Amino acid sequence: MLDTSKRFAYNEDHAMFRDTVRKVFAQHLEPHLDDHEKNGIVPRETWKAVGEAGLLCPTVKEENGGLGLDFGYCAIVGEELAYLGSAAGFTLQSDITANYFERLGTEEQRQKYLPGMVSGDIITAIAMTEPGAGSDLQGIRTTAKSDGDDFIINGSKTYITNGQNADCVIVVAKTDPSMGAKGTSLILVDDGTPGFVKGRNLDKIGQHGADTSELFFEDVRVPKSNILGGEGRGFIHLMEELPQERLGIAVGAQAAAQRAFDEAVNFTKERKAFGQTVFEFQNTKFTLADLKADLQVGWAHLDWALLRHFDKELTTDEASAAKLWHTDLQWKAVDTALQLHGGAGYMNEYAIARLWRDARVTRIFGGTNEIMKEVISRSI
C-alpha cells in the first residue's frame, strides 16, 4: 500500500477518495489481474463497476454527469492503478479524452458522451499514432476530405489504447493536408460507423491487460458536426492537453517505481543466501538506499507538479521534464528490483516481472523521452 503520510498535494477529501479507490480496486481489479493479462483486455463489466463507484472522469462537471472534482482525484486513481500493477486504460479516459470532450465539445457532444464516460457505459480512445508517425504528430497522413456536410476519412492508426473496447474514437486527421499542422482536426468516429474497422489486439512486450489496437478507416463518412473543437485547430488542441497527459504518465511512473522498491525490500528481507538474508549484504542495502533517496525526491517533485497543475500553472516543458524524470526513475527502480530478486525476478509468478515488462513503454508513449529533452531544451 502506498504511504501517503508525507504527501502535501492532497487534502482529507482526497484521502477519503483514495480509500474508496483501494476498496473498489481490491474487489474488481486485483483478483482478476491475471485474467486481464491472459485475455489482453479489461472487460466492460469492470469499467462499469469502476464507473458506478465514481472513479471514472472525476473532473467532469456535474452538469455533464460528473463530480466536478480537481485533477488530484484523477492522479489518485492513476497512482493506485500503477501501484497495483494494472494496465487498465481508465486513466486515458479520465486524464485525457474526457478533457477534450468537456473543453472542446459542443453541448450536444458533451451530453452524448460524457455521462456514459463517467458511468463506464462509454469507453473512448484517441487515435494519434500512425505506422509512419509517432511522436511527430505533424507527420500524420490520415485524411478527412470535405464532401458537402460530411467528411470522408481514410487512413490507419496504430498502438491505440482502449482500441478494442472503444465506443468512440477521437481521430486526428488532416482536413487540409496543404496546411501542415494547421490543417489538422479532431473528428469523432463511433464504433459501427461503416468503413471503420478495428484491427487486431496488438501483441506487446508488456501491459498485456490493456487492449492496444490497429484502427482502419476506409471511406468513413461522418457529419462535419463530429468535429471536436475548431476545424484546422487539432494540432493546437493536442498541444494544449500535453501538460496534463504527461503529468499523468509521471504519476503512474512514480507509483510503479515505489511498488518495485517495496517488492525488492520484501523479497530481500525474506530470501536467504550464505547464511543471511539478501538484505543484510551491504550491496543490497546501499542499492535500496539509493532508490529510497530517489523516491523521496520523486514524491516531493510530483506533489509540486500536481499543485502547479491544480493552479493551472504547470507548463509544457515542466510537464515534459516530469514525464522524463519519473519514467527514467521507474525504469531504474524496476530493473534494479528485478536484479535484487535474482532468478526469481525473471519468473512471471513474481509481481516484479510484470512491473518490469509494463515499465518499458512509459519512456516511449506520450512522446519519447528523447522528444521530452527536445521540448525542455526549447525553454532554456
CATH superfamily of this structure's domain 12-122: Acyl-CoA dehydrogenase/oxidase, N-terminal domain (1.10.540.10)
Question: What per-residue confidence (pLDDT) applies to 102?
Answer: 96
pLDDT tens digits, 110-130: 999 999 999 999 999 999 999
Give residue limits of the domains in the chain: 12-122, 125-232, 241-377
| 125-232 fold | Butyryl-CoA Dehydrogenase, subunit A; domain 2 (2.40.110)
Confidence of residue 182 (pLDDT cuts 50, 70, 90): confident
Under DSSP, is residue 166 helix (H, G, I), strand (E, B) or coil? coil
Confidence at residue 53, expressed as pLDDT on a 0 to 100 scale: 97
* Multiple choice CATH, 241-377, 1.20.140.10, 2.60.120.200, 1.10.3720.10, 1.20.1050.10: 1.20.140.10
Give the pLDDT of residue 135.
67
User: Any catalytic annotation for residue 349?
Assistant: no
By the 8 A CB rule, do 174 and 228 touch? Answer: no
pLDDT for 332 beyond 70: yes
Cell of 132: 509512419
Q: Which of 79, 130, 245, 318 is catalytic?
A: 245
- pTM to 2 decimal places: 0.95
Region 314-330: mean pLDDT is 98
SS3 of residue 6 by DSSP = coil
Average pLDDT over every residue of 337-351: 97
Per-residue pLDDT, 179: 85
Rounded to 5°, the CA angle 369-370-371 comes to: 90
Q: If you average pLDDT over residues 47-76, what whole number do you get?
A: 97
Each residue of 237-274: pLDDT tens digit?
999 998 999 999 999 999 999 999 999 999 999 999 99
SS3 (DSSP) at 106: coil
- In this predicted structure, the answer to whether residue 133 has a pLDDT above a threshold of 80 is no
Answer positive or negative: Cα dihedral of 264, 269, 271, 275: positive
Pairwise CA distance, residues 214 & 191, whole Å? 14
Lowest mean pLDDT among 127-141, 186-200, 254-268, 304-318: 127-141
Alpha carbons 89 and 343: distance in angstroms, whole number: 31
Query: What pLDDT digit, counting tens, does each position of 148-171 carry?
Result: 999 999 999 999 999 999 999 999
CA distance 295 to 292: 5
**Residues in the chain, total:** 380
Q: Beta strands of 42-148 (E only): which ranges?
A: 124-127, 143-147
